[in-house]
Structure 1
Amino acid sequence: MRTIGAAASALERRQPGLLAALPPADWGLLAAGAVVFGAGQLVPPYTNSYKSWYPTLRKPDWHPPPWVFPTVWIPLKVLQSAALWLVWKGGKGDRNKLALPLAVFGLHLFLGNWWNVVFFGRRELKPSVKWMGAFWTSVAGTIASFYNVEPVAAYLMAPTQVWVSIAALLNYEIVRLNTVRD
């Protein structure tokens, strides 16, 4: 948070009055984006694993090319940030109203990152399917809990559910194609 405050102070020194001109909601959206994008920074990128190990795995014919993954995830993270912001605004600080949606959203962020640890970090194919299932379920739970606070936020999360469904099928197929049968 100190870094954000320092950046805001530097920005204000360069353009006096700029920060005061921004509506407070924009700060909430910025904070939501920091949470969503920042959560991914808690997990190493596993670049070596992605470049050396992952290409050796057998994949289904419909496997997307590597450039598709960041191309899809970045807009999804933007939509998730907007959804989180809308829920925060819609909940109006009511702890009872926000507790479940924020907890489930946090679980969704954790499980998405944990799947990366299991699949790319530990290279544990079979367990990754179970973690992907938990991740998929947490996204569905996020949608349901967001809908109760702010329906538009739930709709903004829906594309993530679609992509995680595709990722889950891809995960399953990679495990199936690379598992030695006894």
Structure 2
Amino acid sequence: MDAQNLKQRIRDDPGDAAASKQSNGPRRDKRMAMAKRGLRSLAVAVAIPLSLTLLNIYLSGSNRHGYGTLNKPFWFPPLWLLHATCVASSFLTGLSAWLVWAEGGFHKNPKALSLYLAQLGLGLAWEMVVFRIGASWAGLVVCLATFGSLASCSKVFRKTNPIAGDLFKPCLAWAAFLAVVNLKLVFL
């Protein structure tokens, strides 16, 4: 490439730059307003499942039924790790739901919303059933149902947004691990 083909853009009139900024002003303001709405909706989509999970952890009173005093195998997670992972899982599912919502996935496929709400409700129910009520068998059934709803939700979300579907993978791994922990709790 020779230097003759390269051209430098030169503004002849300094007033042209000001006119260009004025014409882009309303468009820029519109984009900023959209970005702010997007951030607000993201905050709500993540805050709702996080708040519910934190409230659930508080209400379940996990130490009341002796999780801390059980004679557990070495591979059982400590209670703080169990709670932290449930919070992280809630964050990921909320983020995933927002990604689907932002692309109109809940309107295009109402099944996606019902699956999301089912996995959220089952995830919240597990801790209450196992720690508050102390029903390990029922907790195992809830845990397996949670795994199934997470897998279905991931499959449906992936059709709208592949990243949203992939965000469920760590949650699926965690639900599978919880099922193993729950199975061991049944026989303790």
Shared fold by TM > 0.5? yes
Evaluate the alpha carbon distance shift between residue 52 and residue 107 of structure 1 in structure 2; reply closer, same or farther with a 3 A threshold.
Answer: closer
> Relative contact order: is structure 1 or structure 2 higher (C-alpha 8 Å, sep ≥ 6)?
1
- The residue that corresponds to 2:164 in the other structure is 153
Give the CA RMSD over aligned residues: 2.3
Equivalences for residues 38-117 of structure 1 within 5 A: 38-40=51-53, 43=56, 45-46=58-59, 48-50=61-63, 53-91=66-104, 95=107, 97-117=108-128
- 1:10-38 per-position Cα deviation (integer Å, ceiling 9, x unaligned): xxxxxxxxx95953211120110122113
Scaled by the length of structure 2, the TM-score of the pair is 0.73
Scaled by the length of structure 1, the TM-score of the pair is 0.75
Q: Does 1:134 align with 2:145?
A: yes
State the AA in 2 paired with 1:165.
Answer: A
Evaluate the alpha carbon distance shift between residue 104 and residue 47 of structure 1 in structure 2; reply closer, same or farther with a 3 A threshold.
Answer: closer
Q: Is the 8 A contact 2:65 2:134 kept in 1?
A: no
State the AA in 2 paired with 1:103.
Answer: S
State the AA in 2 paired with 1:31.
Answer: V
Distance, in Å, in 1 between the alignment partners of 2:52 and 2:102 is 21
Runs (5+) with no aligned partner, structure 1: 1-18
| Identity level (%) | 26
- 1:36-66 per-position Cα deviation (integer Å, ceiling 9, x unaligned): 1133256462464425521232322211223
> How many residue pairs align between the two structures?
157
| Larger Rg, first or second structure (1 or 2) | 2
Counterpart pick for 1:27 among 12, 27, 40:
40
